[in-house]
Each structure stands twice: as C-alpha cells, then as structure tokens.
Amino acid sequence: MLAERTGYIIWVSDVKAARNLEKYGSVHYISRRMQYVVMYVNAERAEETVKNIRRLSYVRKIERSYRNEIKTEYSSNGPDKTKFFGP
C-alpha cells in the first residue's frame, strides 16, 4: 500500500545545492529560473522533515501544497449546455 504523502514548495537560493533535498523525500520538480523545488515527503514524518529542511542554509521559505485537499469530484446540478441547438 502507498504511504500518504504531503507536498511542499521549497524556495531556495542555490539550485545546485537543492539537489541534496532528495534525501528528505522525493523531488518532483526543480525550477532553475524561479528557484524553487516541489517535493513530496511522508505525511507521518512531515513536521520533523520540514524542521530539518528549514535548518539548511540555502532554504529561504517553505510552503505546504494544498493540492490533496482540493475537491476533485464534481456534480452536475445545472442543465446540460452541451446540447446542439439547431434549426
């Protein structure tokens, strides 16, 4: 079974040093231009991991991703507007 994961956006000052973040979780994306890293960590140990990442000298700011909390199931209560209206 897959472990529950939490996403974090980590703003860094050195992109080369940001590769070292792989030992804390799985790095999903590294933006060289905007200098941030998107990574996923184990949800059970997320607070402890973030505390360790925050201590690194090249980390400027850490934001939690709310992607897993966004509603993805939609209901169609309104009328269907995709019908063909022809002559």
CA angle 45, 51, 54 (to 5 degrees): 135
Which of the four pLDDT bands, split at 50, 70 and 90, describes residue 87?
A: low
Classify residue 56 as exposed, middle or buried by CB count within 10 Å of its CB (0-12, 13-18, 19+): middle
Q: Which two tokens stand for residue 78?
A: 């309104």
pLDDT tens digits, 17-71: 999 999 999 999 999 999 999 999 999 999 999 999 999 999 999 999 988 788 8
The runs of H, that is alpha helices, within the chain are 15-18, 46-54
